[in-house]
Each structure stands twice: as C-alpha cells, then as structure tokens.
Amino acid sequence: MKILCLESSCDETSIAIIDENYKIYSHVTNTQIEEFSKYGGVIPELSSRLHEKNIYYVYNQAINESKLKISDIDYLAVTVGPGLVGSLLCGINFIKTLSFIYKIPVIEVNHMQAHISSLYLEHEVKYPMLSLVVSGGHTMIVKCDSPTEYKIIGQTLDDACGECFDKVARVLDLGYPGGPKIDELSKSGKVTYEFVHAKDDNSYDFSYSGLKSNVFNFVNQSKMKNIDLNKSDLAASFQFYAIEILVKKMKKASFEYGINNISVVGGVSANSYLQKRMYEEFSKCMFVSHQYCTDNAAMIGARAIFDLNNAVSFEKINLKVNLSVEKNCQD
C-alpha cells in the first residue's frame, strides 16, 4: 500500500511517498524561507502563489526519486487544516486533480494530528501520552489516551511560541525564521536580562504576547537611550523565559495526570535548549529528528497510515474530495 502525501499549510511545499510500514520512497520539500526572509515573515498571498508555482516540480521530483509511477499509488493524503487558506487550497486542489484523473482515494489529514503522528516515523508510541505541540501557529499540551482520543488540556491564548521566536528575532534583526537563529545565538549568550514569565499560573494555558511586548519595549527603549545590548545574552534570556514555562507546565501536567510518557513535536521541538531541558526532566522524552520537526509531508503520511488502519469502512475515506477548507483554516 503506497500513499502519496502532500503538505502545504504554510511555507513548505512537501510531498512524500510512504507505505504502511513507514518506509519512505521519496520525500521532497520546497521551502519558501528564502523568499520570506526578505520580509521577516510569511505573506499568505505570496505563499499561495509560490505553492502554485512549485507544486508540480515537487510532485515530479517525488515521483522520480521514488522510482514509482502514479499508477503504483494506492492513496493520496493531504493537509486540510489548520493553516493558511490559500496555501491549503493549492495543495488540496492539486490532490483533488490527481484523484479525479487517476481515480485514487483521498485521505484528509489534520495538520496538528500529523505533527503528533510524526512520532510514528521514528518511535514506538505508547499511550497514554502527553504531547507538547509547539510550532509557528500553535502551542498546546495534548493528552493522548489513544491515537483517536486526544484532548487539548492547555493552549496559547494569543501568540504561539514559534511566532514569538520569529517576532523577537525580527526586532533583533536576526532574519526569518527566528527560532533557529535565536537558538544558535543563545549558545554564545548568558541569561542576564530579566523578562516576564509567560502566563506563569496554575493553568495549562500559555500566553506569549506579554513576553513579546516586554522584549520589544526593552529593545526599543535601549535603542532610544543609546544603550548597547548584547544580542547573544538577549537571545539566551528570551529563550529561557519562552521555554521554561513549557517545561514547567509539562512537569505539572505529567504529575497531575500521572503520565510519564512524554513527547514534543512541531517546529519549536527542534530547539536545542528545549530538548536539553525536557531530557533533564523526562529522560525518555520523545522528539523526532530535525527534518520531521518542522512542516513535512512524511508526517502527513504517518497520520494517513493510522487513519487507513483504523478506517471503519472503505467508504469512510474513499474519495473524500469535497474537502471543506473553511472549517479547518485558522490563520
């Protein structure tokens, strides 16, 4: 059983071909990062146009590298949300067209479930599990009782953690995406500046707008007063406050729910300080390798394999091409 999977919810056009044993035949990703580094962030309209421009090339390369033909593909899988409306539509319409021409059924995949399913690519996942999902669009703690029973026990009330990294990096002139740049710069810095702890309370929710404004105001006031700032120390200090709250709330959730099976997924899970701290607190914490942290099509496949294995009936997944984007779009 071979599945061609597509991810286009934000600034990556990614196609993978994967089988039910998680064997990956090809995995091709075209990232729009270079384009958006000019602007310091993603411009949704431009992102859709770039997906539209590149999607066919990514598809051709994925087919060629897999040494398979489209006639070898049994299922198609595509991200239907959450994500940028135009970017999602490009991917969905491309998959619908393939489905229509080659009569291949489509599996619709939720992007956040796919991030959690990325664990299947490299780990044996056991339940119950607490998963910290941290990306450019989301910050949530998900209690997973089984692969189908997910409960969000806390999430950000405003900015997402990755979004905050990107915005703080912009004010420090570090470029886009800011997460990896702050991560790198922090390695040569010390936690010397004091910022607010983002929503340091008893709930499992997060808030990053206060920390973001705190850093912005501090940097702007220092500039006005001609005070020299040590960027490495600033990066390390911001990173400390942004990450420690995640670790603290995961510890609390683990204790309260009695779950020691912990995972971290999504783009921010690539952060070296977050990995270090989580391993200190939970020695068996699961992360995926870097290529599966940020948006990628293999994780869409991982979720699709799960849906196929658990489909109540073939009709449930067969030709689900009347995909509603509206209900799934958030950003």
Q: Applying CB under 6 A, does 13 fall inside the site for ligand KG4?
A: no
- The string of DSSP codes covering 293-321 is HSS-HHHHHHHHHHHHHH-SSHHHHTT--
Q: Applying CB under 6 A, does 183 fall inside the site for ligand KG4?
A: yes
| Calpha distance 235→188 (Å, rounded) | 9
Q: Applying CB under 5 A, does 12 fall inside the site for Zn ion?
A: no
Q: Applying CB under 6 A, does 81 fall inside the site for ligand KG4?
A: no
- The string of DSSP codes covering 13-66 is EEEEEEETT--EEEEEEEE-HHHHHTTTS--HHHHHHHHHHHHHHHHHHHHHHH
Q: Applying CB under 5 A, does 131 fall inside the site for Zn ion?
A: no
Q: What 8-state DSSP symbol labels residue 279?
A: H
Q: Applying CB under 6 A, does 294 fall inside the site for ligand KG4?
A: yes
Q: Applying CB under 5 A, does 135 fall inside the site for Zn ion?
A: yes
Taking CB under 6 A as the binding criterion, the range among 40-48, 129-137, 145-153, 217-225 that sits at the site for ligand KG4 is 129-137
Whether the CB-CB separation of 297 and 25 falls below 8 Å is answered with: no
Closest CA to 6 of 306, 309, 324, 298: 298
Q: Which residues contact 66 (CB under 8 A, 6 or more apart)?
A: 17, 25, 26
Distance in Å, CB of 314 to Zn ion, minimum: 29
As given in the structure block, the two tokens for residue 6 are 């597509």
Closest CA to 272 of 165, 138, 198, 197: 165
Q: Applying CB under 6 A, does 154 fall inside the site for ligand KG4?
A: no
Q: Applying CB under 6 A, does 179 fall inside the site for ligand KG4?
A: yes
Distance in Å, CB of 133 to ligand KG4, minimum: 9
Of 95, 266, 286, 292, the one binding ligand KG4 by CB under 6 A: 266
276-285 — which CB contacts under 8 Å span 24+ positions? 277/243, 277/244, 277/247, 278/132, 278/247, 278/250, 281/247, 281/250, 281/251, 282/250, 282/254, 284/260
| Shorter beta-carbon distance to Zn ion: residue 160 or 278 | 160
Taking CB under 6 A as the binding criterion, the range among 51-59, 100-108, 178-186, 312-320 that sits at the site for ligand KG4 is 178-186
Select from ligand KG4, Zn ion, none the partner in contact with residue 86, using the beta carbon and a kind-dependent cut-off of 5 to 8 Å: none
| Shorter beta-carbon distance to ligand KG4: residue 47 or 294 | 294
| Shorter beta-carbon distance to ligand KG4: residue 162 or 301 | 162
Q: Applying CB under 6 A, does 136 fall inside the site for ligand KG4?
A: yes
| Shorter beta-carbon distance to ligand KG4: residue 81 or 154 | 81
Binding stretches for ligand KG4 (CB under 6 A): 10, 135-137, 162-163, 165-166, 177-180, 183, 266-268, 270-271, 294-295
Residues in contact with Zn ion by CB under 5 A are 135, 295
